[in-house]
Amino acid sequence: MLQVRGMLAVEESMLEYSGGERERVRAATTPSHLEGGCEHLKEVRAAVEPNTPGECSDCIREGLVWVHLRMCVSCGNIGCCDSSIGRHATAHFHESDHPVMRSAEPGDDWRWCFVDGLTG
């Protein structure tokens, strides 16, 4: 019962956060936001395949539930977003120094540079 209540609390916080996050991402993806900005987002990279499509393997290993998935554009690592308890996409950046990730959610088409804090 405690586990279910904990999961419901996480879900409720995710719903509250997701609306604000969505608006923040939309506002930050305007071209004027990137003028003169991030070389990491401008780099053209060869397409990489996700290492664990559709799941955050770190969350599975730790018994956590993720909110949204992100993919490292350098190596294809799939990690959960910062709205998730594990924040594994950010952890991957700190471990690897791979600067750019993209959303791994269907219909999303944006990238995030951890170094410069910009979307593109």
Model confidence over 29-48: pLDDT tens digits? 444 344 447 999 988 777 89
Q: How many domains does the chain have?
A: 1
Give 94 or 18, the one with higher predicted confidence. Answer: 94
Model confidence at 114: pLDDT above 70: yes
Nearest C-alpha neighbor of 118 from the set 18, 17, 38, 39: 38
CATH number (domain holding residue 29): 3.30.40.10
Which structural domain, as residue segments, surrounds residue 103? 2-119
User: What is the widest separation between alpha-carbon atoms in the chain?
Assistant: 52
Model confidence at 92: pLDDT above 90: yes
Model confidence at 107: pLDDT above 50: yes
- pTM score of the predicted model: 0.70
Query: What's the mean per-residue pLDDT of the chain?
Result: 81
